[in-house]
């Protein structure tokens, strides 16, 4: 790694690190360089460009270099920073939780739209497989009145999620519970909304994931094991047992290739799919269903 010269300003660091990240195969080097600068200077994206002549102090240069080295070692940017943005909210991350994806944001947005459209008041929401808590926390932030039960099998993930709920001032609306959703039907609950982004990247799909994902993101969050559809089968059972008559169940899926099978699984539990959400690339990304009445 070439040494940064003595008197480097924001603009110099931005250009130099963008080029450097680019040569290391980083897909969006400019965006990542901005994020690293923002982290060191604790500033907004606009500030990076408004203060382009500001020199970096020696300490700032040292911190920047440390972050940059971590990033080029192959670690995803979000783990280097220790957080990401989801629905405009800051979500802290550790290696125990999956990095929330932009596709999941559109699922949350659509869920909010359906809750409002169907006039489900003060909904009781079940976030199955909560991870960092991104879904539970954004629903609790954007729905004025609601309560959420957020479940994960990983105690470490739940610790991150709880902290995120505190930092986003929604902890009073969310109960976190350690539980294996494959071994619990939640029969004592009645949910108005069940939402889940479960592990769904099975077999060859898991093997073909980029190293950035496989080496750093927890396997338990991605790989459902031998039965690719095991989580959908159990979510359907939970839906049948614990979804209110007018409620909705929404699951993120791996792509169009899983859609028909999941619809069939849901149909066996008397759940009919009324909407399939496509992602930015046109792949089926989420299925919304309700009870057959």
Ligand X SMILES: C[S@@+](CC[C@H](N)C(=O)[O-])C[C@H]1O[C@@H](n2cnc3c(N)ncnc32)[C@H](O)[C@@H]1O
Q: Using CB under 6 A as the criterion, which residues of the chain lie in contact with ligand X when the complex forms? A: 97-98, 100, 104, 129-132, 134-135, 151-154, 157, 180-182, 197-199, 220-221
Q: Whole-number minimum distance, CB 52 to ligand X, in Å?
A: 34
Total residues found in the chain within this entry? 293
Is 255 within 8 Å of 283 (Cβ atoms)? yes
- The strand ranges marked E within the chain are 83-86, 89-92, 124-128, 147-152, 174-178, 191-196, 243-252, 271-278, 284-291
> Which residue, 152 or 228, is less far from ligand X as judged by CB?
152
Q: Whole-number minimum distance, CB 182 to ligand X, in Å?
A: 5
Q: Whole-number minimum distance, CB 149 to ligand X, in Å?
A: 12
- The H or E element containing residue 116 is helix 102-117
> Which residue, 78 or 269, is less far from ligand X as judged by CB?
78
CA angle (208, 209, 215) in 5-degree steps: 120
Q: Whole-number minimum distance, CB 55 to ligand X, in Å?
A: 38
> Which residue, 34 or 217, is less far from ligand X as judged by CB?
217
Is 186 within 8 Å of 128 (Cβ atoms)? no
Residue nearest to ligand X (CB): 131
CA angle (135, 231, 225) in 5-degree steps: 115
In order, the DSSP letters of 139-173 are HHHHSSS-EEEEEES-HHHHHHHHHHHHHTT-GGG
Q: Whole-number minimum distance, CB 209 to ligand X, in Å?
A: 12
């Amino acid at each position: 790694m070439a040494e940064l010269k003595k008197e480097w300003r924001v603009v110099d660091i931005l250009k130099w690190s963008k080029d450097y990240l680019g040569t290391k195969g980083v897909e969006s080097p400019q965006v990542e360089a901005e994020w690293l600068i923002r982290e060191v200077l604790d500033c907004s994206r606009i500030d990076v460009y408004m203060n382009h002549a500001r020199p970096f102090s020696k300490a700032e240069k040292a911190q920047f270099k440390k972050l940059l080295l971590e990033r080029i070692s192959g670690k995803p940017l979000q783990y280097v920073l220790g957080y990401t943005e989801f629905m405009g909210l800051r979500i802290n991350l550790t290696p125990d939780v999956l990095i929330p994806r932009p596709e999941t944001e559109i699922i949350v947005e659509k869920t909010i739209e359906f809750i409002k459209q169907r006039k489900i008041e003060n909904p009781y929401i079940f976030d199955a497989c909560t991870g960092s808590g991104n879904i539970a926390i954004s629903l609790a932030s954007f729905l004025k009145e609601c309560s959420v039960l957020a479940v994960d099998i990983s105690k470490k993930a739940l610790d991150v999620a709880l902290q995120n709920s505190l930092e986003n001032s929604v902890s009073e609306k969310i109960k976190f519970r350690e539980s294996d959703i494959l071994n619990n039907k939640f029969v004592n609950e009645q949910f108005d909304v069940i939402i889940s982004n479960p592990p769904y990247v099975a077999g060859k799909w898991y093997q073909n994931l980029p190293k950035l994902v496989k080496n750093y993101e927890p396997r338990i969050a991605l790989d459902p094991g031998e039965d690719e559809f095991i989580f959908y089968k159990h979510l359907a059972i939970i839906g049948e047992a614990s979804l209110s008559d007018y409620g909705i169940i929404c699951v993120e899926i791996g792509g169009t290739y899983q859609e028909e099978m999941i619809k069939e699984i849901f149909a066996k539990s008397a759940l009919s799919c009324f909407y399939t959400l496509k992602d930015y690339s046109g792949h089926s990304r989420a299925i919304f269903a309700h009870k057959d009445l």
